[in-house]
Structure 1
Amino acid sequence: MDGLLITAPTVPAPVTAAPPAVPAAVPAALEEADVVAALRLKAAAVIDAELARLRARIRLDPGVCAQVDSAAHQVVELLIRPACQRLLAQAGSPAGARQADALARLFALDTSERAGGQAVWSR
């Protein structure tokens, strides 16, 4: 073992400084993200309910059913995407707060049902 030098790992010093302050715009941005997540959750629930009604009336091949499901989700995503992108682009601003409030009221959204911070309805 000549020439092999083994050293003890260095342990970083404990952090004693306070964490950086959170900018005031961050909670507002989280609220806008919650509205987007709630809108996507509600859209997915409506699509799933309508597709369940369709499957109850019409017997579809599982492959066809999967294609109809995918097409319905894609169409709704294309319809709501511009509003979601505008809202997230304006997050933290007074315009973003107004738009988030308008969307929440228009679609009767419950922003407390965010899917555990995960992206929702990404098909």
Structure 2
Amino acid sequence: MSYAANHPEVKKMDPSERMEGAGIQIGGSVGLEQDGVIRAVVKGDVRSTCKLVISKGSVVSGVVQARDIRLEGEVEGGVEGAGQVWLVAGSRLRSRCVAAALRIEAGADFSGEIRVGE
């Protein structure tokens, strides 16, 4: 998993550099080039070319873009999934959701615009 936090550009980093664990705060954008799990507070956007999980307790203030997105935490800027977006019970999404397919579990908190299948 590679992370980059140089806003506004997302730069590649060595895959051996990992950032995970409670209490991590990222002030900028994050870019991933493989499947990944975000366990942090991100004050910026998160972009991935693959599958992405925003884990429980994580907060993203910007937009999350990925092929497939599983939201367990919180996103304030909206999500854009080229494939499936899944909002699990206890997750919170504000703004908008754009996805080819959308799954919302009972107990998920969503407020905003939905565009599915476009």
Category of TM-score, reference length = shorter chain: under 0.3
User: Rg: which structure is higher?
Assistant: 1
TM-score normalised over the length of structure 1 = 0.18
Is the helix fraction higher in 1 or 2? 1
Q: TM-score, normalised by structure 2?
A: 0.18
